[in-house]
Amino acid sequence: MPGFFYCSISRFRSAVLTAAMVAASPMMVGNAAHAAAGVPFLAHQALYDLNLVKSRGNTSMESARGRILYKFSGNACEGYTSDFRQVSEMEGGEGKTTLSDLQSTSWEDAEGKTYRFKILTRTNDSDQSQVDGVAERSDGKITVKLKQPVAKTFTLDGSTVFPTEQIQRIIAAAKQGKSLLELTVYDGSDNGEKVYNTLSVIGKPIAGDPPGSTSDPSTTNDQMKKLTRWPVTVSYYDHDAKANSGEQTPVYAMSFELFEDGVSRALVLDYNDFVISGTLGKFDVNDVKDTTPCK
């Protein structure tokens, strides 16, 4: 059960989802920068309504509902700030109800060199738990310094990406016509030490809002409805888990439609035992500060 509450943050801050991001012209390394720089990422606020789609196997999940409020702001000069809050209520067998409140804020610079994060979570009437730290890229590696839940310093491989860069790279790959993308991602989730191997499967582009499609606040927005989007499924694997014989099972998978400006819609979160949908209920475009050129 806790995996749902923590793991859903990973796509929305990254990509939830990540999945909804803002930037001026992404300042990434190599060809990805040129491929993704065509449409600036959009500063916005999105509200997602969560509902249980189905449960599998022996899970006792009977219902699930909640909301995610996601805000993204900043620019390529000042870096990008994301604020995320998810409140969820889940009902299991014998009338057992679990209420979870998760709040997260993070900042990532445009070049993916520094990532600061703070995550607060509370389940039912338990004490609030906290993850607080910073990750910095230097000399071909990433150094993570945690303040909470315990003071600790450790290193990650330099090829690991942070959430905003993950979304940037997915869009860049989509524009290059690629259908598969493998990335190692760090977002500070769980106890601040979790690293995921990810596999993104990118579908064919959807040019604007197709006739007869189900409209939501993103596809009906005048600024959004002319943009290209892609169906994307990102599977998350435990980086430290040793694969048994056969194919490794993802910890969770996330499907969504990703616009070229970083906004996500039609979210589906698959946690193996159960599946949650996230319908975009409200969408607001925020003003973006003109920072060209950076000073």
139-174 pLDDT, tens digit each: 999 999 999 999 999 999 999 999 888 998 999 999
What is the pLDDT at residue 26? 33
Query: How far does the chain reach from its first CA to its final CA, in angstroms?
Result: 47
Q: How far apart, in whole angstroms, are the C-alpha atoms of residue 119 and residue 85?
A: 10
Residues of the chain with pLDDT under 50: 1-37, 245
Nearest of 187, 235, 4, 236 to residue 102 by alpha carbon = 4
The beta strand positions in the chain, using DSSP E, are: 14-16, 18, 44-55, 63-75, 79-91, 97-108, 114-123, 129-138, 141-148, 152-157, 180-185, 196-202, 206-207, 228-238, 252-259, 264-270, 274-285
Contact 118, 104 (CB under 8 A): yes
pLDDT tens digits along 253-292:
999 999 888 888 888 988 888 888 988 888 888 766 655 5
How many other C-beta atoms lie within 10 A of the C-beta of residue 95? 7
Q: How far apart, in whole angstroms, are the C-alpha atoms of residue 48 and residue 26?
A: 26
In degrees and rounded to multiples of 5, residue 163 shows phi and psi of -60, -45
What is the pLDDT at residue 264? 86
What is the pLDDT at residue 39? 63
In degrees and rounded to multiples of 5, residue 240 shows phi and psi of -95, -10
What is the pLDDT at residue 31? 35
- For residue 95, the SS3 value is helix
Contact 25, 37 (CB under 8 A): yes
Q: What would the two tokens of residue 45 be?
A: 């606020």
Average pLDDT, the chain: 79
